[in-house]
Structure 1
Amino acid sequence: MTARATTRPLGTVTRGTTNPNRLRRMDRWIAATHGAELRRAADPVAVDLGYGAAPWTAVELLTRLRTAAPHARVVGVEIDQGRVAAALPYERDGLTFRHGGFEVPVPGRPLLIRAANVLRQYDEAEVAAVWQRLCARLAPVDPSTGSRGGLLVEGTCDEVGRRHVWVALGPEGPRTVTFATRLGSLERPSDLAERLPKALIHRNVPGEPVHAFLRDFDRAWAAAAPYAAYGARQRWLRAVRDLRADWPVVDGPRRWRQGEVTVRWAALAPRS
């Protein structure tokens, strides 16, 4: 008798905690910055990797992506078979659920993989290999069409989605880091440090770029204190404008007004 080979999903089970609207800031950023790629594609597939104990984030991702790309499809992927079974009643046109992990068990090469609050439980030393594996599953860059290829968005947020930091990666590797917050809840920009993704959270120490960035952001925020009379949004806008003098901010006022700022990964990458 020949033993039948079995393939186990790659990764470990997460805590699975999730809440409706928890990932709204990330979703809206994806729709705004990656929507054109999704619209151009004949079959725009997005993967919600490690969606957790309830399928809310996958359901919401489909709704938000379709505001930018009406034909987008979402596949929720979970390593816990019981969570997949619980999500199946929520399947509908454009939304399916599958058992799997970092191997991303979907046909072809997706245009988006979102992995929110998934790597938090892993060691920092494991992140690079996971990123490489997931980036290898993305749709490739196609210079003939101007396509930048697929996008991996990996990051962490608090339980209700008020504070969120994520890294955006293309097939070639990390591109940017985005800091996003509900401005009314922010005392200072460095409050976001507790939500840094695993690749950066242990690097928020003197001598590391991300520490210097948050220090400078706090200084710009303090200098912009007079603008607080016009509201937290105006203070944030002023602080980010000042921050641009020393840091490669890649977005503009439209995104800043949402309580976001995006910086090139190379400027914040760990030194060793």
Structure 2
Amino acid sequence: MTPRPASAPVGTVTRGTTNPNRLRRMDRWIAAAHGAELRRAADPLAVDLGYGAAPWTALELLHRLRTAAPRTRVAGVEIDPARVASARPYEREGLVFLRGGFEIPVPGSPVLVRAANVLRQYDEGEVAGVWRRLCARLAPADQAAGSRGGLLVEGTCDEIGRRHVWVALGPEGPRTVTFATRLGSLDRPSDLAERLPKALIHRNVPGEPVHAFLRDFDRAWAAAAPYASYGARQRWIRAVRDLTADWPVTDGPARWRQGEVTVRWGALAPRGW
């Protein structure tokens, strides 16, 4: 892969914390939700933006996406040149590492950009601008071909990937918010609030939609307590099913069984967004 002409990378160096399998929940969701888009693309390029101090997440992304779309290629992009240099010995067929930032220094338009734990250190007011910049780099929609275009997945998780919340965006902007967790570690759904992405984490206060959603989710979880005797998965499924009466949940039981629920962005968007 030949990178785009050199320019100053846009962004700042992150902490770089990474662990093997940290992003497995996000990766599996991407493969399920976006696999068809990757399969139909002429050039199914995915970008692991800000992969951190070790290359594990990019290697794992390649492996997981290829289970859904075997022609997928991955470019790991990091702003820190030392991290890029240390990752390059891990390059292989379909995987390269490049220095860059939000400008995404790859040729063409990626079908996927994953930015996990990247915007956490930025100010809330910077998020919309970063989103617009990244969405402008995505492969465009093609209605004639049945394509919705590329996907940006931006979110935050804990250090070992038990709790994760991400926003999925297309070329037109934000689409959905997904909450994902290891159900055995969950006391109540609002525990996920600590992993809300930057656009939402400071909005978990009364009067904001995301606060109301987590409040209703906790109530549904409490009402579903009798299902706990069948396991946390059955309790989660019941609670999410009850949520669908008042919230625009976009997925179904097959994803709920994974400890996930996806809601339309418009229902959770911050006031005045």
State the TM bucket, normalised to the shorter chain.
over 0.9
Q: Which amino acid aligns with 2:64?
A: R
Is 1:66 matched up with 2:93? no
The CA deviation at 1:62 is 0.2
Q: Give 1:146-225 correspondences, 5 Å limit.
A: 146-225=146-225
User: Gaps (5+ residues) in structure 1?
Assistant: none
User: Secondary structure of the equivalent of 1:254?
Assistant: helix
Mapped to 2, the partners of 1:7 and 1:108 lie a distance apart of 16
- 1:159 partner amino acid: E
- Structure 2 counterpart of 1:141: 141
Residue number in structure 2 paired with 1:124? 124
Q: Can you list the C-alpha shifts for 1:22-57, whole angstroms capped at 9, x where unaligned?
A: 000000000000000000012100000000000000
Correspondence for 2:251: 251
**SS state at 2:120 partner:** helix
What code does the residue aligned with 1:143 have?
Q
Moved over 6 A (4+): none
Note the alpha carbon deviations across 1:195-243, whole angstroms, 9 max, x for none.
0000000000000000000000000000000000000000000000000
Would you say 1:79 and 2:68 are equivalent positions?
Answer: no
Which structure 2 segments of 5+ residues have no match?
none
Aligned residue number for residue 226 of structure 1: 226
For residues 176 and 233 of structure 2, the distance between their equivalents in structure 1, rounded to whole angstroms, comes to: 22
- Counterpart CA distance in 1 for 2:31 and 2:256 is 16
One-letter amino acid of the structure 2 residue matched with residue 133 of structure 1: R
**SS of residue paired to 1:7:** coil
Q: Which amino acid aligns with 1:221?
A: W
- Give 1:263's aligned residue: 263
Q: What CA distance in whole angstroms lies between the structure 2 residues aligned with 1:98 and 1:225?
A: 49
Question: Offset of 1:268 from its aligned partner?
Answer: 0.1
Q: Using the alignment, how far apart are the partners of 1:7 and 1:69 within structure 2?
A: 31
Q: Note closer, same or farther for the CA distance 1:93–1:223 as it changes in structure 2 (3 Å cut).
A: same
Aligned-residue offset at 1:7: 2.5
Query: Identity, % of aligned pairs?
Result: 85
TM norm structure 2: 0.97
C-alpha distance in 1 between matches for 2:246 and 2:58: 37
SS in 2 for 1:175: strand
Q: Distance in 2 between matches of 1:251 and 1:6?
A: 41
SS in 2 for 1:76: strand
Aligned partner of residue 30 in structure 2, secondary structure: helix
Amino acid at match of 1:44: P
Q: How many residues align?
A: 268
Query: SS of the counterpart of 1:12?
Result: coil
1:6, distance to aligned residue in structure 2 (A): 7.1
Structure 2 CA distance, aligned partners of 1:105 and 1:190? 37
Alignment partners' CA distance in 1, 2:71 and 2:228: 42
Give the distance between the partners of 2:242 and 2:40, measured in 1 at CA: 36
2:176 alignment partner, SS class: strand
Q: Deviations over 1:119-166 (max 9, x none)?
A: 000000000000000000000000110100000000000000000000
2:31 alignment partner in structure 1:
31
